[in-house]
């Protein structure tokens, strides 16, 4: 069967690409939302760890995969999760269409970044278990939040996705790893000390008009990205990307109250890709549209 090449995987012609992270600048994860038709796909050796989350399933369908001495099958119900380690080829059969499946591809290099936090086995990305049709609330929540970032279109999306990819890798190593050496060895020092926190907050304030990445912030705090994301969230009660979004929305509120700039420019200053996405985010945060807020303040 001739396969189509999209991103990090090849798919049969019966698979339709609905959305993709290609072109969004996400460096720690690749994401595709797909509609799968009836298919028999030959074995392909994946170079990434793959998580498949069924967003809209079909309980009349069955997914069967075989390879490396295993044969697994499960119903693609909504919320079901499939896991695949890197480096193990498998054939896949789909007996009836699946409306929406989210494919999350984690590069093997991502797992190397967790060396400070886990006693990793050799080739950790190859030690993830083959799993079909499982439930994992953490993976489900993170996966769906990443899916929402595909449509939000803000610079903060990249900060969040960098954090989320690390969280997914950590979850796989803690809960879905064949080796007992994947046990967590988190540092007992949970808090971000006040000196580092102040440096990070000052950096965000000084660079709020520019793109701010998780790597930037971790460098300011002198932590690994994984350590920093966890410690910042514990210290501030929200992850870094939400804090940055909140600061930008507060700046936008001040600009709205001043009444000197058009709404489209305020949205651009807040790092939204469009006025519409800014309006949606503003309404979620305040319960009002930007124009309603402006009318009340002028």
Two tokens, residue 183 = 């046990």
Residue 272: φ, ψ to 5°: -100, 145
Chain centroid to Cα 209, Å, comes to 23
pLDDT for 159-185, tens place per residue? 788 888 988 988 898 888 875 545 443
- Supply the pTM of this predicted model: 0.65
Q: How far is 284 from 298, CA to CA, in rounded Å?
A: 21
45 vs 250, residue with greater confidence: 250
The CATH number corresponding to 4-182 among 1.20.1070.10, 2.60.200.20, 2.60.120.10, 3.40.190.10 equals 2.60.120.10
Q: Where are the domains of the chain?
A: 4-182, 194-237, 242-297
Q: Are 49 and 126 in contact, with CB atoms under 8 Å apart?
A: no
The kind and range of the H/E element at 64 are strand 63-67
pLDDT for 45-62, tens place per residue? 778 999 999 999 999 999
pLDDT for 67-115, tens place per residue? 766 788 899 999 999 999 888 778 899 999 999 999 999 998 888 777 6
Two tokens, residue 148 = 């929402």
pLDDT for 122-156, tens place per residue? 667 778 888 899 999 999 999 999 998 887 766 67
**DSSP label of 290:** H
End-to-end Cα distance, the chain = 64
Long-range residue pairs from 204-210, CB within 8 A, at least 24 positions apart, any chain = 204/243, 204/244, 204/247, 205/247, 208/244, 208/247, 208/248, 208/251, 209/269
Whether domain 242-297 has CATH 3.40.50.150: the reply is: no
pLDDT for 206-236, tens place per residue? 999 898 998 899 999 988 887 888 888 877 7
- Residue 243 is predicted with a pLDDT of 85
Residue 149 three-state SS: helix
């Amino acid at each position: 069967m001739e396969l189509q090449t999209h991103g990090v995987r090849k798919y049969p012609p019966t698979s339709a690409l609905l959305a993709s992270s290609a072109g969004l600048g996400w460096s720690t994860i690749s994401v595709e939302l797909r509609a799968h038709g009836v298919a028999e796909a030959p074995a392909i050796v994946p170079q990434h760890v793959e998580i498949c989350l069924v967003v809209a399933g079909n309980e009349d369908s069955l997914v069967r995969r075989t390879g490396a001495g295993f044969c697994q099958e499960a119903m693609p119900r909504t919320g079901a999760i499939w896991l695949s380690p890197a480096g193990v080829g498998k054939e896949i059969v789909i007996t009836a269409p699946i409306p929406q499946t989210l494919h999350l591809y984690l590069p093997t290099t991502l797992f190397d970044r967790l060396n400070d936090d886990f006693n990793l086995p050799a080739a950790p990305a190859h030690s993830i278990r083959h799993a079909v049709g499982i439930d994992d609330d953490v993976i489900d929540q993170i996966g769906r939040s990443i899916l929402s970032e595909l449509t939000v279109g803000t610079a903060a999306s990249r900060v969040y996705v960098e954090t989320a990819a690390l969280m997914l890798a950590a979850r796989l190593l803690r809960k879905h790893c064949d080796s007992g050496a994947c046990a967590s060895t988190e540092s007992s020092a949970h808090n971000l000390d006040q000196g580092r926190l102040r440096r990070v907050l000052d950096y965000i304030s000084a660079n709020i008009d520019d793109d701010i990445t998780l790597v930037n912030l971790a460098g300011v705090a002198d932590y690994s990205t994984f350590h920093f994301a966890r410690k910042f969230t514990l210290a501030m009660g929200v992850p870094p990307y939400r804090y940055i979004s909140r600061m930008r929305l507060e700046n936008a509120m001040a600009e709205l109250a001043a009444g000197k700039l058009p709404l489209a420019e305020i949205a651009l200053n807040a790092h939204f890709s469009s006025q519409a996405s800014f309006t949606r985010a503003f309404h979620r945060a305040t319960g009002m549209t930007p124009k309603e807020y402006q009318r009340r303040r002028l």
